Amino acid sequence: MIKVQEITKKELKQFVTFPFGLYKNCKYWVPPLIKDEIETLDPEKNPVFKNADATYYLAYKDNKIVGRIAVIINHLEVNEIGKKKIRFGWLDMIDDIEVTKALLEKVYEKGREHKLEYAEGPVGFSNMEKAGILTKGFNELNTMITWYHYPYYAEHFKKLDFQKQATWVEYQLTIPKEAFEKVKKFSRIIRERYKLHVIRFKHKKEILPYVDDMFGLLNNTYNTLQTFVPIQQYQIDYYKEKYFNFIHPDYITCIEDSDNKLIAFSIVMPSFSEALKKANGRLFPFGWFHILKAQKKNEKAAFYLIGIDPEYQGKGVTAIIFEEMQILFNAKGIETVETNPELIENTAVQLLWKDYNPIQHKERSTFKKDL
């Protein structure tokens, strides 16, 4: 018999660490940092709960934990955007469709209780967090900002009559030994035409004055996409603190116009996947060593965010970003780059990679069911 119970705060660590056992023998699963996960899910620590509610459940079978799920309501999404959606995330379970079914029943119950129209997941609290069940790329390490799943997850959803909602694709890019001549030429032309200049950073503290404007550009860049929920200032402050230790100033590119207004930026990071596997959920005593080592020496990087002011989209600003990236990658010895998940319909972004021998190596989707 399967029993699903809402957890207490004392059981939050059990909720967070359940996947560590489930994926113990999986060489592709990259564990999150346990402390960060607990803080993300704690209403007293994460300011997202100013506009969201979440309930966490564990599933038991034969007195053993066999699954988990978070049921989430984003009130900005429901009340201001008008999407009558109950979210679910942090879904993990053994390969038993009855366990999956029992966990999802809690999603349906909560959604109907709040008179919502459909359930969608797996997602986080907002569009700035992990989303989607892996449907391609099971022999690839996940990045720091994505989930890994066994193939049976997607199979369970199909059997339970869920429909794919949003789909994201990820690419692996090959970095040439030097920038393409056309990129360098176009970069120079665009800089001169629009009187743009690049901001380079030497120290982390120099980045902080630009962070709010970066998130403002993200809001303006992606507000037409289907998953968009506006990023609130309290979330910006929270993400600053959460990810600041992973940021390396060399990997940030900011572009300003002649009035010193930020019009574009990109954030790339060294790949932390191998380092996080070695850390196994903990920064101490040795996790930090692996993170710092990955920052300093790495043949692989991950492209996390790019934002361009709508006024400058389609005007070639990406040539400047790519030239700066090329200089950085060649200086750091980086040979391959993974893109962040991009919505499959966002062809404008995918066209940016066409000269870098892109290989679509992963795909993930959220699944939807009417209530």
Domain limits, the chain: 2-168, 176-334
All residues at 6 or more sequence positions from 173 whose CB lies less than 8 Å from its CB, including other chains: 303, 336, 337, 338, 339, 353, 356, 357, 358
> What are the structure tokens assigned to 103, written together?
């966990």
Angle at which helices 233-243 and 34-41 cross, to 10°: 170
Return the pLDDT at 249: 87
pTM for the full predicted model: 0.90
Residue 351, burial from CB neighbour count under 10 angstroms (0-12, 13-18, 19+): exposed
- Give the whole-angstrom CA distance, residue 354 versus residue 7: 47
Residue 174 Ramachandran class (φ > 0 left, ψ -120 to 50 alpha, else beta) = beta
Domains 2-168 and 176-334 share a fold: yes
- Give the whole-angstrom CA distance, residue 323 versus residue 303: 14
Per-residue pLDDT of the chain (371 residues; tens, 9 = 90+): 899 999 999 999 999 999 999 999 999 999 999 999 999 999 999 988 989 999 999 999 999 999 999 999 999 889 988 899 999 999 999 999 999 999 999 999 999 999 999 999 999 988 778 999 999 999 999 998 999 999 999 999 999 999 999 999 999 999 988 878 888 898 999 999 999 999 988 888 888 888 888 888 877 766 665 556 677 777 777 777 777 667 788 889 999 999 999 999 988 889 999 999 999 999 888 888 998 898 888 899 998 888 888 888 888 898 898 899 888 899 899 999 999 898 898 787 787 788 889 999 999 999 999 99
- Give the whole-angstrom CA distance, residue 350 versus residue 303: 13
Return the pLDDT at 202: 87
Looking at the chain, how many residues does it have? 371
The structure tokens 């799943």 sit at 149
Which class does domain 176-334 fall in? Answer: alpha beta
- Quick check: helix, strand or coil at residue 174? strand
Going along the chain, which residue ranges are E strands? Answer: 2-6, 52-61, 64-74, 85-93, 118-121, 133-136, 163-174, 197-199, 252-256, 262-270, 300-308, 336-339, 342-343, 359-370
> 3-state SS string over 74-120?
EHHHHHHHCCCEEEEEEEEECCCHHHHHHHHHHHHHHHHHCCCCEEE
CATH number belonging to the domain at 2-168, selected among 3.40.50.10440, 3.40.630.30, 3.40.50.720, 3.40.50.300: 3.40.630.30
Return the pLDDT at 291: 87
